[in-house]
Structure 1
């Protein structure tokens, strides 16, 4: 069966989605919707339409929503009412309330809804999760992430927490297979925008691991690092280069006087060879397969995406509450 897919939004991510959809096995890319006057008439030899109803009239099985976050609820609702499955770029909606509304309407109509948390498909993080499941680290003690870079001009309707830190919230819980049970944050507003542009967040997971996230739009270089520390060593994932390394605790026991601190020593290190499939392609393949089977498998569900937004809103509120007045 060949699925017919449409695209909503032709910004930076939308153009990447169009590229993948145009060559995705088992999928026919039928066209895109974007009302902006600057968009081309066609993309990958498919029409770009000014009215969403025109796209729906072409007959689509599912759609990718890569429009501004503020429009996610309206567009997602229209797709659901038309019986169209949807994968929506993260965050799933602007607010937790809107996210829950999308979650519920898709569930009520028996439609597959997915969220574009693309880091789950990064080869380094997928390999890290598998090795954690295999027991490479033993018990997880701590997960620390750093996601820094220059301000992206395309973002206008949310702050750095909902735009960037949502990646770290989702990937941390997913890699560890634990839920967040508490979070706190410190935020700053340095660029003259109404939304926060820098956050330092900490939290605790259900298995006892502690987490920290350093995220900002005010660094003149890009950094995407996840460090997972466990009882047997440390995994370091760089999602910019899709590299994964393991630093093992030393096998030689180093003991101090009784009553003194006993720590770890430096052991072997390994840089893993990984299958570097493009994360966006892997994301699309998983969503395509979920639509074909009618069951969400290997995707970030609307329920999971909603929980991420709920945690993000707690961080935003906590950061505001703790500012010195």
Structure 2
């Protein structure tokens, strides 16, 4: 992380690169967060969503630098992340890059190295880490609510998003699940394998199933696709005391406890496993994850001690891409890929 920090005595002069589907939401949130002042937005097509009224609209990254931005959100298409991020690093601008950090792990490493060398804050926008259900799941797992964790399974499915043209479902969506699984378990991936398919006639894959194992022994599974008529976003962590189920669409977290009720039904009682116990849905404070993410970025820029662990470092973003690329390589060659889990 950077040692250069901005003063909390005045708002941070923020820039935004990209006013597409995600960029327009970032424009709204940045303007709403105390301590952030959106002074310029860069998009060669202008403000087509009318999301940045009253803000200077410039055609490119050079325009952001000329506007005197101190920090910027990069929400351009994935294949442009490296070019834009490196320009901002060279200009001395702190940056949060929308996930994934780059189109390839190699490009991500170049970005990470540039921000480290310039002593700038560089981080990645994995907004699911700000989802209230997942934040609470991680806290409860760390506090021992599940005892030993055995398995984490995610599902991320829905219709094809017209906004995506340069990557497949693995780099666009599965990258969320790989990041959040490692973060919740507080352990890197040790092995990953998967299968992908192309059903929509596009160059990139649109469906994926994957299994793997983390360095701490937790087994994982991910189902991701763009061809489902129903939208699903869920994470299930199962352990020795029960299961935590997070619905990322609603922000709900439910605990299903292992039961201690005996049964006199022979077919059931002879099964040597767990029984169904009580279920508890926790009452959680719900805040928009994108707003929480920008507040974490602001606090990290101000050097607040707790914020350093809340933003996703570029090194973490690169590790997630390494797992993604291993998954795609393994799917192409029909084999599991072992990863270096020591870093």
TM-score class normalised by the smaller sequence: over 0.9
**Where do residues 231-310 of structure 1 align in structure 2 (5 Å cutoff)?**
231-252=240-261, 262-293=272-303, 296-310=308-322
Cα offsets for 1:201-256 (capped at 9, x unmatched)? 00001111100000000101110010100000000000001000000001346799
Aligned match of 2:120: 111
Answer yes or no: is the 8 Å Cα contact 1:254–1:265 preserved in 2. Answer: no
Q: Determine the structure 2 residue equivalent to 1:209.
A: 218
Contact 1:124 1:239 in 2 (8 A): yes
Alignment partners' CA distance in 1, 2:94 and 2:203:
34
2: CA distance between counterparts of 1:76 and 1:130? 32
Q: Deviations over 1:145-202 (max 9, x none)?
A: 0000000011011110000000000000111111110000111011111111100000
The match for 1:131 among 132, 140, 156 is: 140
- Work out the CA distance in 1 between the residues paired with 2:51 and 2:91: 24
Task: Note the C-alpha offset of 1:292.
Answer: 1.2
Which 5+ residue runs of structure 1 have no aligned equivalent? none
Partner of 2:3: none
Per-residue Cα deviation, 1:50-89 (whole angstroms, up to 9, x for no partner)? 1321221111110000000000000000000000000000
52-61 or 183-192, larger mean C-alpha shift: 52-61
- The within-5 A match list for 1:93-112 is 93-112=102-121
Provide the secondary structure at the position in 2 that maps to 1:267: strand
Please, which runs of 5 or more residues in structure 2 have no aligned partner? 1-8, 336-343
TM score, norm. by length of structure 2: 0.90
Compare 33-42 and 192-201 and name the one that shifted more: 33-42
**Matched residue, 1:17:** 26
2:4 alignment partner in structure 1: none
Cα-to-partner distance string for 1:5-29 (whole Å, 9 max, x where unaligned): 0000000110000001112111111
C-alpha contact (below 8 Å) 2:73/2:96 kept by paired residues: yes
Larger mean Cα displacement after TM superposition, 48-57 or 76-85:
48-57
Q: CA deviation at 1:38?
A: 6.8
Q: Partner of 2:309: helix, strand, or coil?
A: coil
